[in-house]
Amino acid sequence: MSEQAELTKIIDHIETVFRGKREIVELTLAALLANGHVLLEDVPGVGKTTLALALSRALGLDFKRLQFTSDLLPADILGVSVWLADSAEFSFRPGPIFSNIILADEINRTTPRTQSALLEAMSERRVSVDDTTHALPDPFLVIATQNPLEHHGTYPLPESQLDRFLMRLSIGHPIREVELSLLSERGSSQPVDQLSAVSDPEAFKRLQKKVNAVHLGHEVAAYILDVVTATRRDARIRMGVSTRGVLALGQACRAWAMMKGRDFVISDDARKLIVPCLSHRLSLSGSMADDRATAEATMEDLASKVPVPA
């Protein structure tokens, strides 16, 4: 089975329980293929937890959900060292971060100290507890959520934390036909609970390694840099996209190309991913600096002015 066929099978399987949002499923899967993390910024009740759980079940991966609150401590995520009197030594008890897919629900409701603990796990794929480093499982993906309409009692994510997310996505409400079918069919059971695995961790790790072999040519790379350079020169933007953002977009393009059955990246791949991969990395000037819609519109406007190579 080809890589594209294998990935299409996974997407089709997830769509049996997460309906009408195929592109969101594809983008989230591409982020995991590229060894990245996803920030889902949306109102409650549109299926963020269902998407994360369905992805983990279809891939045969471990899943943990963390409800972030103001009193959550780093140890509640990372784990603690416990003194064992019988052996007269400390034993490490892993926290919920030691899982393949982590749903960090309402990440902006916890304190910067706890956010920083998650930051190391996301960027380094390991955690440090009592001067001892512990490797996290592979694959490892954080899907974080936040409500864009509720800001009371929240701690906005700093630029350094936002830059660790490969993509920022918004699911939105399903179309009427899908919502009607959900209303008609839904009983007491949750369909995602019965979702079986159509892949396994080792098979998916092989797919992740193949992403690195996808070719990103000079013309597409130059196009990406032209767009990024535009973000660094625009008066509306206080701080443009970093080099980390450039590399992240390139890796996401490789994953997207593989999902579409190609071993090379085309300019349309980059154009497709520019907004979800780069808009959250912008630091805008003025009163709308923290507004997602404004950042996405600004990024779209800049991208539309850069010629796309044939």
Sign of dihedral through CA atoms 48, 245, 205, 74?
A: negative
What average pLDDT does the segment 57-72 reach?
Answer: 93
Q: Which residue has the higher pLDDT, 148 or 234?
A: 234
What average pLDDT does the segment 169-187 reach?
Answer: 82
pLDDT of res. 225: 97
pLDDT digits (tens, 9 = 90+) for 217-239: 999 999 999 999 999 999 999 98
pLDDT of res. 153: 65
Please report, for the chain, the start and end positions of each structural domain, with discontinuous segments joined by +: 1-72+99-184+199-210, 212-310
Averaged pLDDT score across all residues of the chain: 90
Minimum mean pLDDT among 10-14, 91-95, 276-280, 285-289: which range? Answer: 285-289
Shared fold status for 1-72+99-184+199-210 and 212-310: no
**Which CATH number describes the domain made up of 1-72+99-184+199-210?**
3.40.50.300
pLDDT of res. 92: 85
Tell me which CATH homologous superfamily contains domain 212-310: Magnesium chelatase subunit I, C-Terminal domain (1.10.8.80)
According to the 3-state scheme, what is the secondary structure of the chain? Answer: CCHHHHHHHHHHHHHCCCCCCHHHHHHHHHHHHCCCCEEEECCCCCCHHHHHHHHHHHHCCCEEEEECCCCCCHHHHHEEEEEECCCCEEEEEECCCCCCEEEEECHHHCCHHHHHHHHHHHHHCEEEECCEEEECCCCCEEEEEECCCCCCCCCCCCHHHHCCCCEEECCCCCCHHHHHHHHHHCCCCCHHHHCCCCCCHHHHHHHHHHHCCCECCHHHHHHHHHHHHHHHHCCCEEECCCHHHHHHHHHHHHHHHHHCCCCECCHHHHHHHHHHHHHHHCEECCCCCCCHHHHHHHHHHHHHCCCCCC
What is the percent of the chain with per-residue pLDDT over 90, rounded to a whole number? 60
State the pTM of this model.
Answer: 0.90
- Which residues have C-beta within 8 Å of that of residue 191, sequence separation ≥ 6? 16, 17
* CA dist., res. 283 & res. 239, Å (int): 5
pLDDT digits (tens, 9 = 90+) for 85-132: 887 787 888 999 999 999 999 998 889 889 888 888 898 899 888 878
What average pLDDT does the segment 47-68 reach?
Answer: 92
Contact 157, 122 (CB under 8 A): no
pLDDT of res. 287: 63
